[in-house]
Chain A
């Protein structure tokens, strides 16, 4: 089969940049102590936060880049913009949002999504959250859904109690960077017993060249509460690189159920280096649903620490690497309590010289009896130029754990293609159909409109892949 594959993500929907980029604050490139202090001053933060930022900055300067993973040599920290705020105050009403930002999000379909389906929505443009709303009934129940800066001002005690307890700045270089210059992100608190039946959503967008986006999300789900949070990410294409380095912390109290869905579709010049971690207490459930379609290099391994008896963790990770892309993704589960269960499912597709890597950790600590875990990762290579790697780490310290790991790598079966084509499908359609079938377990987990969107994206990715 002569498959000359020329596949590019169709960014026409996302690849618009806003001409009118007038910013309230926009710093010079590069990161210094002064920049960190300045960010904190603009935000009028309490002293402890400034100290926290400075401590993180110190650690960031000392910490070496990770020696493993993707190629970070071309990442220039000094060429990045660390802070830019497009508008001074947050808007509660869509009408208050400046026109050019409104256009941007209109193109992305944010307010429509809200009208139809979502319980709340936040949108972040560069460093600051520009729009936030929450359904009234949820607010009445005591649900807090706001941007992280506001939370620091309005809920200082709650904030200080949980902030950075899951991911300390010393965790890794990019967590340190985020801790030093973080801005925006979502802060969610769900009170005991409250079940939020519609998803809360945030949308992140980078618009300036060489911009770094460092949002910080903190979700606290109190006992027996329930929440589904969705984030989407996009950026237009520039010739030089941007950096997205978020930190997401989730605390699921006993019996809580948290699902966190990410559809990452950054343009092909964004480094996406994200630290995500959740604590799950007794009988709590945490689910990460993680879709990585865009970016130049993604290094992201959502992790779950199962801290209480009966806690459950599930990670579903999907990666699609096209030309020039490296998706280094996976998941980590650390079993620290008895009778905890976990499942990691990873699916990846590489084409046009793209590279996908699954990097996972399954750790069963001593004393974590009766643990059950299964890990499954499948990789599909669509052509001979692409590459896939699997590095699963299984560390078992307890004698009655039951764990399994399976992985397969393959190409699309010609007999499958032939079968579909014999039923009248074009080669292109048949190929799309097979890839969609491969991705099915992931798509099934998404809310309706996201599933449609993702299907469309995969179809776009597949377009022109057979010639």
Chain B
């Protein structure tokens, strides 16, 4: 029984590790800049900044746990943003139209990714590298290479609005989507199967799991969420920009990995991904406030990714 206890301690310590790191970074920033950083308004601002990446990261987490990767989400953000903005000009369509079309566009790209991975047996990296490029092209064509401006006030309010006058809508979306996806991942048969195929695909197949169907659903879900993210971004920047969302896929992957999800699939916790997304936002916000140039910020962000994975690997080796 002694071993059990120590094992649990070790596990919880490892899981706490990411929390500690997060809290330490928060504490350091609060000490360095108590006035600017620690203001409640700024903390809410951080949540807002984390929200779009957080939504993308949640979808990416499903894909990575299932043993895959999705590089196309940044391009989906651009495409669905362009589509949303194009149908949001004043006096044309009701608000629901741009919303549905944006989400549909993302889901369709996700479905195509899923078909390529699950039924075409093409490695996810290749399929989504391809769709990343194609979808970016489609977005540029759809927008004729120019940002799509002139959207309605209601459209602007999707991301720009507040609840109770203080909490930005974006934060609410982030929290709701995260909670729903966390529930699906941890409590449903679907979530369990995502882990199972990432952990051992052959064993999952032999156990009667329809591996192809689960993969299809996972990539579609990821595309769906990227569609939402694109809609939200377009609303936030009050335009559909076909060059937006560049390298968003990498930020999403970074959040997932910082959160301790294994790149080889089969393991990882949803709250790790949330912390990962928050961490990225906190760091860039904090460094902005400290007047660190955005060039240096890139270096710091990269180092944090590597250190996070290093800690993860060392933690596993000890077990």
Do A and B come together as binding partners?
Answer: no
Which of A's residues lie within 8 Å of B, judged by CB? none
